[in-house]
Amino acid sequence: MSSQTTTAFPWKRNLAVLWAVQVLTTLGFSFTFPFYPIFFQELGVEGAERAAFWSGASAWMMGVGMGIFAPIWGLVGDRYGRKLNIIRAMTLAGALMVLSGYAQTPAQLLISRFFVGAASGVVPTIMALVATHTPRPRLPFATGVTMSGLYLGIAIGPVFGGLIFDALGARAAFWATGLVLLAGVLLVVVFAREEFSPAQARGRGVRAPLADLGRMATARTFLPLLAVLILVHGATLLVYPAVPGIVAAIGGGEATATASGVVFMASGVASAVSAVLMGWLAGRIGLRKVVMLAASAAAVAALVPFFADTLPLLIVGMAAMSLFAGGLGGIVNGMIALRAPPERQSAAFGAAQSAHSVAISIGPLLGGASAVAFGLRSVYLLDIAAFGLVVLVAAFFLGDASRVEREGEAQRQLP
């Protein structure tokens, strides 16, 4: 089924269901992801800077797992159906997250992150199903809405995760992640729709989807988009290992998990608003202009948390940065959906997930290393540099909306 879907298919209803699933997915993961520095300290790592480095290393392990397996899962989605792939990803991720809560040493927690990354890949599978059944003119809007669900989950999750952690401990937070992902699986099974022809997909053979993936990952029209995804997601994630330490230094170490959750909530809410707002704005002033203006503003906004000496100012600074940077991922995903032929959407978003995996691998690890070498707040200087590179890539390598449409038509003519 192409994204030129028939009017009989309820694509808006499907979008609403998958938006809710996206919220649940990132809600569950956000119960634990922002608090890995605290988890590592509980397992014996001493010092906020060293804990930040261990947290970054664990994210690197997760990114390696994603990078290896995300393209494979993308091909599985094109061959056997995106809905089934979502169910597979959420079920495996939920089970492995629960098991992660039973880690007894930092090394065990580190290794568990690899398997979580290898087995999950929920976000690109959801995005592929959305793109497959959405009319092409509405793809930037639909991908922006889907990304807003991602950021809304990120906004809410750390607050509840921090409360669970402070009240019940780390293991309870991991269990909560598993239960929320299970709820998302039930939502997909009962309400999500897909028009998929297994016979048509399998008739292409095994080599065809592998060739699709190779073309997607190396095509001149896709490489700049993948580069922007790496920079945007890397800039977002590299601050995560440092935030709990900064919050503890500002607040004196009281209820650090809950306070950090509030910081991440403000950032997530701003990102969710940004994802919808920028999708609307891009249709009026152009995709490339929005990317350049938003990345420039995010770089300036990063100075606020860098100099923040109170918790409210840190919250405002993180929210301002996310308000400008949060929608960039949605815009780029919309451009990917426009450029990819309908039958290759999962392969395209598998390539995008590989770029995200690179960001997960490099961003937190670089942030943790920078925190150890130059102090916790140095991560915001890295953010400024990353957003500056986004501006340069957009200025020289990203085309306007009409060029995107032309390139999308050319991609659809590929055999």
Can you give the three-state secondary structure of 140-171, one letter per residue?
A: HHHHHHHHHHHHHHHHHHHHHHHHHHHHHCHH
What tens digit of pLDDT does each residue of 155-195 get?
Answer: 888 888 888 888 888 889 999 999 999 999 999 999 988 88
CB 120 within 8 A of CB 93: yes
Where do the structural domains in the chain lie, given as residue ranges?
11-408
DSSP state of 43: T
The DSSP 8-state label assigned to residue 368 in this structure reads H
Structure tokens at 32: 């634990």
> Where is average pLDDT lowest: 44-53, 104-113, 244-253, 338-347?
338-347
178 is written with which tokens? Answer: 């598993």
For residues 313 and 107, is the Cβ–Cβ distance under 8 A? no
DSSP state at residue 354: H
Residue 18 pLDDT more than 90?
A: yes
Give the span between the Cα atoms of 2 and 9, in whole angstroms: 11
Fold of 11-408: Growth Hormone; Chain: A; (1.20.1250)
In sequence order, which residues have a C-beta less than 8 Å from that of residue 306 and are 6 or more positions away? Answer: 317, 377, 380, 381
Pick the most confident of 137-141, 163-167, 295-299.
295-299
% of residues, the chain, pLDDT over 70: 84
pTM value surpassing 0.95 = no
CB 142 within 8 A of CB 317: no
More confident position, 240 or 393: 393
- Tokens encoding 292: 């350049």
